[in-house]
Structure 1
Amino acid sequence: MKKGFTLTATLKYLGFCLVFGLFLMATGCNKDFENTLPQNFRNDTLGLGAGKKVLYIVLDGVTGAAIKALAPPNLAQINAKATYTYEGLADNKYNVITNASAWTTMLTGYDYTKHNVTSEDFSGLNLQTTPTVFTRIKSSLNNARTVSIASTIAFNDKLAADATVKQNVADDAAVKTAVVTELTTNNPSMVVAQFHNAETAGAANGYTAATPAYAAAIKSIDGYIGEILTALKARKGYSGENWLVVIASNKGGGPSGGAPGSNIFNDPSRNAYIAFYNPRFSSALISQPDPNSYPFVGTGPRFIATTNSNVTAIQNNTAIGNFGTTGDFTFMFKFRDDYGQANYYPMFLAKRNAFNSVSSTGWGFLFGANSAQLDWGGTPRPGFGIDIRDGRWHTVAFTIGLLNGVRTLTLYVDGLTRYSGSINGRNIDNNIPLRLGGDVGTNGDTQTNLLIRDVALFNVNMSATDVAAIMRTQIKPSTPFYNNLLGFWPGNETSGTTMLDQSGKGNNFTYSSNVTFAGFEEISTNISPDISPAAYLSVPNGVDIPLLIYNWLNIAVSPQWGLTGRLYIPTVSLPTN
């Protein structure tokens, strides 16, 4: 952890609390955290003295990925004395993002659910309920000079009405010239500069560093930033001033609007470069959490078989789980064994009679010592090959289909192929319903205690690659082969006796009346769960910027303002003797 930060920028797992980035979510795990500063807050931010001012440079359509790839020289110098990110988010929701909505977010400190701007015409904007930084500074600081210089007329006309000075200029070069003039001749408290050429180039040619016109526009803006910083440092009173320089993309570029549940970090329209710079700041790069560290979070039915009680889920359609002698299928599920000790033969997921003898009819999964196996009508009976009785989540699947003209059963555990063999001509169909959970628990060798989740049956013989990828995930409409589902049972209920078939086929399971549902939160090497929305707050968002500006200018933020951003406090480099 870098000195000065209150929390590390990597993902932590603390019971049921998730720690992301430089903040801790305001949950029961940290009830003292406030998203806004106390109403009476008056501080000398970071001990940098009086004369604090803000230079806020807005980069329209400049993706963080492009900045990282191009490494423009002036922004590279900024990064050496900044808290910065190439993976910031212009917006952490699933809406279609526009220039207007992004500008409004980063100038008000409210996301679109509060400022209501989604379209380029600013329809829905109400600055009475979501004032801009210009309005807040005007009402909070006497004689503060705020200046907005924009190459897009709507930027000033819609959002800078309360700026002391607003200038509409022809292009980015003119923005640079006007900012340099303002810094050279006047005494502003805040200067906002809006550059738009990269957005124009990206929209016409593509928003990637490999696109010549887009890359050239970014490099030109970088040159303008260099000239602006030179002018800033040449100010006569600069030695007695403390400037917070914020450089931030309003948005990224490309198709916008991620599907609910998708990973917003993969949405290029939201990918933003954001930097908070001051010559006395230490360099601190903030990156998104490692996808391998996302926790698998939810609830699942607990299947217990004891001498006194057996918990099961019974499939209402007795044809589900019959595979006949032809056709292609893939069956998969996730499970966690909590019994905690080796035992033999309790069957925990099966389409056959209770496991009290080998049967030529039906199939099922059963434990064996510290592992498990798949019994296919008595033979074959391939084992999992690993210890799975460890209280951790594991993934299991089998496929049925032709291999070199032979109908073949292939077993997968935790993404790896564990067995492949012929079942050619074998018909083990029956009228016994598919059952989850053991229905015998007469002694220590037949007792169970496990969770089962995400049971899925497809009418396709997936490849090993597809099985390994899909069995790790949480199935949704965007999952490959989703339209091939014969049934999908997430098991994410929290009450009731119905295990709902979310494939739309209506093949529900019925839980026994004594079922209970257990919550879980676990980082598993075997599962790639959907990202938690909390992860999007681990990097600076456009909505966070106004809160830092108010903090820097010693403006007390009332809780009644209801700002939706988080406060980032950069690290200060202490002088050396």
Structure 2
Amino acid sequence: MEKLIKNIMLCLFAVFAFSCNEEMERLLTDDYPESGTEYTTGHVLMVVIDGASGIAVNEAYNTRKAPVIRSMTDKSLFTFYGLADNEEGVSKERGWANLLTGTTKNGLDVNQGIDELETPSFLQRLKEADENLKVSFYSSDTEFFGAFGSVADTKRKTSADSETADALIAEINGETISDIVVAQFGGVQQTGEQYGFWSNETTPTSEVIDAIYNVDAFIGKIMKALEARPRYVQENWLVVITSSYGGVYEGNVTPASLYDDPRLNSFMMLYNSRFASKLLQRPGSDELQYKFYSPYFVGPGQKATTNAVMTGNTEFFNMGKRWSSNPDEEVDKSGYTIQFKMFDKHGDPWGNRNIISKRYQKAGTGWQLMFSNNTQVEFAANFKEGSSVFRLPSTRRDGSWHSYTLVIKEVDDTQKGDSILFYLDGKYQMGCKIDGSKDMWTDAPLAIGHTFSPDRPSQANLYINDLQFYNVALPADIIAEYHCTTKLDLLGELYPYWNNLVGYYPNDREDDIGLSYLEDYSKYTSKDKRLYFNKPVGTFAPTDDYVTRRQESIVTDKVCPLIDDSYYKTVLNTVDLSYQIFQWFGEPVDSSWNFDGEGWALDYVSLNN
């Protein structure tokens, strides 16, 4: 009986093993070429269409005026929102330079001619890497041909696009063909120069669309000849179709991002007979994530960050007497602005909690922004003679980030008071006046987080980020435009009020993890303006020394992260193509070349013949 069971088990194992081997073989043959297939290292056909924006090609695609390109998208990685440069504005010549050198750091300015380019093309670098590699080059443009065609083994300066297509097809029909073939078509560029490239920022001219139709017909003839080659599949052709830039735009351009600059808009396609279809769409602004590594302020005794206090400079943001009937008395007439972004994770409506302050406890001279015993934020201006309380009409229980802006306007000598304005998410909410003849001067340190024991410490859960202090009253239009912007230090002088930003605490930087303080990122940064964690303020002393930073990533219209390079890497850039071609030939890219491009993963339907 035992022997019988063993025999049955052996049989089952054999069946199982056979099934597994059969399945493994099927998987392997789907992922790799069949045994005996003779693929070479690859060939590349690169078709450059000058002045054909991606939007124009897309319009031709949708109106059946690019039937060949349309049919090729079934086996392509492609985009209608590629980028020809990494900064606003690009010329035809700089577009060429970016495309053919693989780097935007090629030294050619938008106002320079292509003859001033000194950076080697990727064609030259490929030939230096492999002396046996052969290059063919066809172009009707004298400048383009002179700048990049000299390294080619086979080259021809043609007089028109039709002659370029004929010369290329003649080589394709021959028995031997170069490893990489470049063909440049200038008809769209010439049409755009004559009739205009754009009717407006988003609409190409009908003449440009018609010119794309003509180039599409040439591409059709070229592809028909290429696919008729006896060893077309084994030669493993990567067909690259790209525009060099989006053409000239005569109007004023104020793009929200590089994607909105019509001059940069490019069409790009990587085609192979075994590729799967993949369209790369431009990302929406709502896809920008706000990533932060921020102190998490909770109540005392909760084993997390209690507060952050400026222990070294008690004069910072000290507002004294604002008005006096005595003309000889020195008063502070300056304008001030405090702006920050806050997220209250608990949202308890009944907790008294400090947000930002420059005073001791809940009384005494100075000023304070705090949660009061309701759903409102309260601004308290405390004087030696009394206090003024300004409750802001803000809801904070919606589980969202909000930007708060408090503006104290410059003193008007005709009035005996300060005008205080409050903005929520960049929109004006309300204003009031406080008695400016009373003194707010204090030696209390600036602090964020808790400076007194909250009523409900377990429910005090706050992020306070992007804290800004200005020595001027920000105007409403600037608040509306920049209230949600982050990383003002990276904008620097591009930000209109950078010189008035006297204290800037982003509180969200990964680089600051491990620090015992919050760093000032303004141009006036100094050690005595650092905000140190868990420090006493007056009679209040934190009960522990925990510092908790939390990493989170959110998408919200209340916070506007600066667009970084990764935002522009979700589509093909023209500088990617040089890098991709190097990968296709299996050649390494030297870091000293400063290639900006990246290699893209290419999806295959099958690697079999």
Do they fold alike, i.e. is TM over 0.5? yes
Aligned counterpart, 1:557: 588
Aligned counterpart, 2:542: none
Give the secondary-structure state (helix, strand or coil) at the position aligned to 1:157. Answer: helix
Aligned counterpart, 2:309: 312
Which of 381, 384, 388 in structure 1 is aligned with 2:391? 381
* C-alpha distance 239-477 of structure 1, shift in aligned 2 (>3 A): closer
Q: Distance in 2 between matches of 1:322 and 1:186?
A: 91
Write the deviation string for residues 293-318 of structure 1: whole angstroms up to 9, x where unpaired.
32334666777874898532367455
For the Cα contact (< 8 Å) 1:311–1:514, is it kept in 2?
yes
Aligned counterpart, 1:154: 143
Aligned counterpart, 2:568: 536
For the Cα contact (< 8 Å) 2:89–2:261, is it kept in 1?
no
Give the secondary-structure state (helix, strand or coil) at the position aligned to 2:44. Answer: strand
Q: Distance in 1 between matches of 2:521 and 2:128?
A: 57
Q: Distance in 1 between matches of 2:322 and 2:555?
A: 31
Which of 136, 141, 156 in structure 2 is aligned with 1:167? 156
Paired amino acid for 2:273: P
How many residues get paired? 511
Write the deviation string for residues 258-294 of structure 1: whole angstroms up to 9, x where unpaired.
x9x9843344433221101123322211123332232
Q: What are the residue-to-residue correspondences of 1:310-389 with 2, within 5 Å?
A: 311-313=308-310, 316-318=315-317, 331-336=338-343, 344-351=351-358, 353-357=359-363, 363-368=367-372, 373-377=377-381, 378-387=388-397
Which of 428, 440, 444 in structure 1 is aligned with 2:451? 440
Aligned counterpart, 2:52: 62
Aligned counterpart, 1:459: 473
For the Cα contact (< 8 Å) 1:310–1:441, is it kept in 2?
no
Aligned counterpart, 2:23: none
Displacement after TM superposition at 1:84 (Å): 0.5
Q: What are the residue-to-residue correspondences of 1:194-233 with 2, within 5 Å?
A: 194-202=184-192, 206-208=196-198, 209-233=203-227
Q: Distance in 2 between matches of 1:396 and 1:512?
A: 20
Aligned counterpart, 1:394: 402
* C-alpha distance 77-528 of structure 1, shift in aligned 2 (>3 A): same
2:466 equivalent to 1:473: no
Aligned counterpart, 2:267: 273
For the Cα contact (< 8 Å) 1:83–1:285, is it kept in 2?
yes
Give the secondary-structure state (helix, strand or coil) at the position aligned to 2:204. Answer: coil
Q: Distance in 1 between matches of 2:171 and 2:73?
A: 24
* C-alpha distance 135-462 of structure 1, shift in aligned 2 (>3 A): closer
Paired amino acid for 1:332: Q
For the Cα contact (< 8 Å) 2:321–2:440, is it kept in 1?
yes
> Which moves more between the two structures, 303-312 or 94-103?
303-312
> Which moves more between the two structures, 216-225 or 278-287?
216-225
* C-alpha distance 139-487 of structure 1, shift in aligned 2 (>3 A): closer
Paired amino acid for 1:349: I
Paired amino acid for 2:103: D
Write the deviation string for residues 93-143 of structure 1: whole angstroms up to 9, x where unpaired.
x487444444344334x4143x5444424436254xxx633552586374x
Q: Distance in 2 between matches of 1:415 and 1:139?
A: 56
* C-alpha distance 180-116 of structure 1, shift in aligned 2 (>3 A): same
* C-alpha distance 296-230 of structure 1, shift in aligned 2 (>3 A): same
For the Cα contact (< 8 Å) 2:39–2:234, is it kept in 1?
yes
Q: Distance in 2 between matches of 1:454 and 1:443?
A: 22
Which of 441, 447, 460 in structure 2 is aligned with 1:431? 441
Write the deviation string for residues 381-438 of structure 1: whole angstroms up to 9, x where unpaired.
23531227x6x75321245789xxx998654444566x53544877776224783414
Paired amino acid for 1:532: D
Structure 1 length-normalised TM: 0.71
Q: Distance in 2 between matches of 1:524 and 1:434?
A: 34
Which of 511, 515, 531 in structure 1 is aligned with 2:530? 511
Give the secondary-structure state (helix, strand or coil) at the position aligned to 2:85. Answer: coil
Structure 1: gaps (5+ residues): 1-42
> Which moves more between the two structures, 406-415 or 213-222?
406-415
Q: What are the residue-to-residue correspondences of 1:485-500 with 2, within 5 Å?
A: 485=500, 487=502, 489-491=504-506, 494=512, 500=520
Write the deviation string for residues 184-234 of structure 1: whole angstroms up to 9, x where unpaired.
345323321112343344456654243344444333323332332233344
Give the secondary-structure state (helix, strand or coil) at the position aligned to 2:146. Answer: helix
Paired amino acid for 1:395: S
Structure 2: gaps (5+ residues): 1-31, 325-332, 382-387, 411-416, 535-546
Q: Distance in 1 between matches of 2:591 and 2:526?
A: 49
Displacement after TM superposition at 1:489 (Å): 2.1
Q: Distance in 2 between matches of 1:499 and 1:321?
A: 26
Aligned counterpart, 2:602: 570
CA RMSD of aligned residues (A): 4.8
Q: Distance in 2 between matches of 1:443 and 1:99?
A: 63
Q: Distance in 1 between matches of 2:268 and 2:409?
A: 51
For the Cα contact (< 8 Å) 2:294–2:463, is it kept in 1?
no
Relative to its length, the structure with more helix (as a share) is 2
Q: Which has the larger radius of gyration?
A: 2
Q: Distance in 2 between matches of 1:139 and 1:507?
A: 51
* C-alpha distance 421-311 of structure 1, shift in aligned 2 (>3 A): closer
Aligned counterpart, 1:123: 116
Aligned counterpart, 1:21: none
Paired amino acid for 2:45: L
* C-alpha distance 248-370 of structure 1, shift in aligned 2 (>3 A): farther
Q: Distance in 1 between matches of 2:299 and 2:570?
A: 42
2:82 equivalent to 1:82: no
